[in-house]
Structure 1
Amino acid sequence: MQHKRPKMTLLQRAKQFMPFAALKGFQELLEETARYKEKRKELSEEQLEVLDAQCKGLVIGNVVSVVYHNGRVYDTVQGRLQQIDTVYRTMTVGDVLVPMSHIMRVTIIG
């Protein structure tokens, strides 16, 4: 007695050869690590003093431009200074929370 398999459709045959990702999210993780990362620069003592003086001159409501390291590359945010948190050492420009330790330069625009 011989059993015959039912004939597969082309769609069923194609599914057999589709790529299979055994580790979900692994490809995205590889792409994330392959992206360019810029190292954060350490400021000299003089640069830190200038930056500190600039930050002390800031007033809530000033329109500022802040160059900071966002964890990957240097980025610039411009907008109204919403908050300065001296406890957590952050400032909020527009809707962006910027750690003060990541700031490279602050410029008051208006």
Structure 2
Amino acid sequence: MSPDKRAAQFLPFQAVKGLDEALRAKEKITVPKIELSEEMFEELDKKMHDIRKGSIISCVYFHKGEYLKVTGMVARLDEVARILQIVNTKISFDDILDIIFE
């Protein structure tokens, strides 16, 4: 058997294209969005009023069935559009769970 044919038998075989990605997506555990209590909402509202453009913060937010945390400089705080932008990540006010000042 030639070396090329011998090597080919050890190459990974993928019978169904995209199967690996589909399996990884299936493994992802989704969580329901937490509804803020009145007390949690008031605390978050106070923190939101303390945010200034250029400050460094961490934000925990809901996105596509999971909670993510992003840390960075506040690039934009748009109260009309209700968007908080940290570096390149745009977050709707309605999806924010917590703000941590660094």
State the TM-score, normalizing by the size of structure 1. Answer: 0.69
Q: Which runs of 5+ in 2 are unaligned?
A: 1-14
5 Å-filtered alignment, 1:1-110, equals: 32=25, 35-109=28-102
2 CA distance for matches of 1:53 and 1:94?
22
Secondary structure of 1:88's counterpart equals coil
Higher strand share: 2
2 CA distance for matches of 1:107 and 1:30?
34
The percent of aligned pairs where both chains have the same amino acid is 25
Q: Which runs of 5+ in 1 are unaligned?
A: 1-18
CA drift at 1:99: 0.8
Q: How many residues align?
A: 89
CA drift at 1:35: 3.2
State the TM-score, normalizing by the size of structure 2. Answer: 0.74
CA RMSD of aligned residues (A): 2.2
Question: What per-residue deviation string (whole Å, max 9, x for no partner) do you get for residues 66-105 of structure 1?
Answer: 0001122100000000001111211000110011111110
Larger Rg: 1
2 CA distance for matches of 1:101 and 1:63?
20
The 1:34–1:20 alpha-carbon spacing in structure 2 relative to 1, beyond 3 Å, is: closer
